[in-house]
Copies of this chain bind each other. A is one copy, B any other.
Amino acid sequence: MRVEDFRTVTWRDGRPVILDQSRLPHEESYLVLEDVEQVAEAIGTLRVRGAPAIGIAAAYGAALAAFLSGGDRQAVLDACDLLASTRPTAVNLFWALQRSRALALDEGIGAEKLAARLLQEAEAIAAEQDAADRRMGELGAELLPSSCRIITHCNAGGLATLSFGTALGVVKAAHSRGKVELVWVDETRPLLQGARLTAWELERAGIPYKVICDSMAASVLARGMADAAITGADRVAANGDTANKIGTYPLAVLAARHGVPFYVAAPLSTLDLTLENGSAIPIEERSPDEVRAWGGVAATPPGAPAWNPAFDVTPAELITAIITEVGVARPPYGESLPRLAGKVPQGSS
């Protein structure tokens, strides 16, 4: 079985179709999104999630707005505003929508061509991401030792991009070279993207894994049971500080304490060099209901107060290297990241 035998977002019969991740791993179902509101809802409720994937979905959403409005520029700009309001942390969303917006504002593109041009752009963003994933996979796999036991958090797999993945793309590339002994999968509360999605994706790819609760990662590291940690990113600041799914920061602290390298796999679209450091990254807070319950089953007393930050920031000092599609950045990131960001993509694209 090919590991990339799914696609998070597809364009079919004039509509974006998403693999509904809220139903995984129990059901592999696809959802046709009929209007921009449905695209926004799918992003907001994490039916499609992962920084690169929500950028791709948003770009298809902008194209949909153009098709439904017969190429109305304002309708497309309004759609971009709505889509941008769904989730604040991942910068890929704003980066992708910026590309859609620029086309909507380009008077050189006639109204009759706008929808097709926006669709072409969405397809390009998806294809670029896929090429970036595969290039990151190759570059990242080089960094891992043989018989590697890897720990990861959340899902930075094909489900978070188009098909291959960032952090899991590295794992897949390393696995195809015979280098992967085991992947430790943090379940990733509250929405269990690790237990639900990463496990599903690794199972499908035939890569050996074990699921643990997030609080068990420290024991895996303390007992010398992992050789590398690797995660994705939702936004990387100019100094290398990285926002990613809540629970990434403590994993990085523990990896550093136990001398395990901590890698971040992030396409250039995830870099936000306008931010000096991580303190400026907006951190989404989601409904306390997600903490109070899972799968509709309440854990706490009814209405118990709860706090639900969806991301945390890992300071650059804890990150061994940042793997991008144009090369591997090493500290000091304030120098290496701008250098890479200025570089023309090479290789597989």
Which chain A residues have a beta carbon within 8 Å of chain B's beta carbons?
25-26, 184, 186-190, 192, 195-196, 199-200, 203, 208-220, 222, 246-247, 249-250, 253-254, 257, 288, 291-301, 304-309, 312-313
Interface hub of A214, A220, A288, A292 (most chain B Cβ within 10 A): A214
B-chain residues with CB within 8 Å of residue A203 when the two chains form the complex: 301, 304
Of chain B, the residue at the smallest CB distance from A312 is B219
Contact B210–A307 (Cβ < 8 Å): yes
Contact A219–B304 (Cβ < 8 Å): no
Q: What distance in Å separates the Cβ of A2 from its nearest Cβ neighbour in chain B?
A: 18
The answer for the CA separation of A249 and B313 in the assembled complex, in Å, is: 20
Contact A222–B312 (Cβ < 8 Å): yes
Of chain B, the residue at the smallest CB distance from A188 is B215
Q: Would you list the 10 A-B pairs with minimal beta carbon distance, nearest first?
A: A215-B247, A295-B297, A218-B250, A189-B213, A195-B299, A211-B306, A25-B301, A214-B215, A294-B294, A210-B305
The answer for the CA separation of A172 and B308 in the assembled complex, in Å, is: 25
Of chain B, the residue at the smallest CB distance from A248 is B215
Contact B246–A222 (Cβ < 8 Å): no
For the complex with contacts A196-B299, A218-B253, A295-B299, 15 further pairs of A-B residues with Cβ separation under 8 Å are A187-B189, A189-B189, A189-B214, A195-B291, A199-B300, A210-B305, A210-B307, A211-B300, A214-B214, A216-B312, A218-B312, A219-B312, A222-B313, A294-B299, A296-B297
Of chain B, the residue at the smallest CB distance from A311 is B219
- Residue of B26, B212, B246, B253 near A213 (CB, 8 A) is B246
State the majority secondary structure of interface residues on A: mixed
Of chain B, the residue at the smallest CB distance from A295 is B297
Contact A215–B300 (Cβ < 8 Å): no
Contact B189–A26 (Cβ < 8 Å): no
Known: A294-B299, A299-B187. A214 touches B213 (CB 8 A): yes
The answer for the CA separation of A217 and B313 in the assembled complex, in Å, is: 13
Of chain B, the residue at the smallest CB distance from A304 is B199
B-chain residues with CB within 8 Å of residue A296 when the two chains form the complex: 297
B-chain residues with CB within 8 Å of residue A186 when the two chains form the complex: 215
B-chain residues with CB within 8 Å of residue A308 when the two chains form the complex: 212-213, 216
The answer for the CA separation of A220 and B257 in the assembled complex, in Å, is: 20
B-chain residues with CB within 8 Å of residue A313 when the two chains form the complex: 222
Contact A215–B306 (Cβ < 8 Å): no
Known: A25-B300, A213-B291. A249 touches B305 (CB 8 A): no
